[in-house]
Amino acid sequence: MGSKLRILGIETSCDETAAAVVSRFDDGTGLVEADVVLSQLDEHSAYGGVVPEIAARAHVDALDSLIEGALTRAGTRLSDIDAIAATAGPGLIGGLLVGLMTGKAIARATGKPLYAVNHLEGHALTARLTDSLTFPYLMLLVSGGHTQLVLVRGVGDYERWGTTIDDALGEAFDKTAKLLGLPYPGGPEVEKAAAKGEAKRFDFPRPLVGEARLDFSFSGLKTAVRQAAESIAPVNDQDISDICASFQRAISRTLDDRIGRGLQRFLAEFPQHDRVPALVVAGGVAANKELRRTLQLLCDRHGFRFVAPPLHLCTDNAVMIAWAGLERMALGLPADPLDVQPRSRWPLDGEAKAVIGHGKRGAKA
Domain hosting 304: range is: 135-309
Indicate if 43 and 31 belong to the same structural domain. Answer: yes
Q: Is 156 left (phi over 0), alpha (psi -120 to 50) or beta?
A: left
Considering the domain architecture, whether residues 150 and 63 belong to the same structural domain is answered as no
3-state secondary structure (DSSP) of residue 286 = helix
Q: Which residues of 79-92 are buried (b: 16+ CB within 10 A; e: fewer)?
A: eebbbbbbbbbbbb
Question: Does residue 339 lie in a domain region?
Answer: no
Q: Write the pLDDT tens digit of every residue in 108-156.
A: 999 999 999 999 999 999 999 999 999 999 999 998 788 999 999 999 9
Which carries the bigger pLDDT value, residue 100 or residue 364? 100
| Within-domain flag for 352 | no
Are 215 and 321 found together in one domain?
no
Tell me what pLDDT residue 3 has: 72
Whole-number Å distance between alpha carbons of 217 and 210: 13
Domain CATH for 217: 3.30.420.40
Question: Is 191 found in the same domain as 49?
Answer: no
Q: How many domains in the chain?
A: 2
Portion of the chain with pLDDT greater than 90, in percent: 81
Cβ atoms of 320 and 313 within 8 Å: the answer is yes
Distance CA 334, CA 308 (A): 30
Residues 305 and 326 in one domain: no
Query: What is the per-residue pLDDT across 214-252, written as a single tens digit (0 to 9) for each?
Result: 999 999 999 999 999 999 999 999 999 999 999 999 999
Residue 169 has a pLDDT of: 93
- One domain, residues 8 and 90: yes
Residue 239 lies in a domain: yes
Q: According to the model, what pLDDT value does residue 144 have? A: 76
Q: Is residue 362 part of a domain?
A: no
pLDDT band at 359 (very low <50, low <70, confident <90, very high): very low
Same domain for 121 and 195, yes or no, is no
Q: Which residues contact 77 (CB under 8 A, 6 or more apart)?
A: 71
Summarised one tens digit per residue, pLDDT across range 161-214 is: 999 999 999 999 999 999 999 998 889 999 999 999 999 999 999 999 999 999
Checking phi first, is residue 208 left (phi over 0); if not, alpha (psi -120 to 50) or beta? Answer: left
Residue 148 within a domain: yes
Are 186 and 172 in contact by the 8 Å Cβ rule? The answer is no
| Cα dihedral sign, 50-169-299-124 | negative
- Please state the pTM of the whole predicted model: 0.92
In a domain, 139, yes or no: yes
Cα–Cα distance measured from residue 300 to residue 323, given in angstroms and rounded to the nearest whole number: 29
pLDDT, residue 42, reads: 67
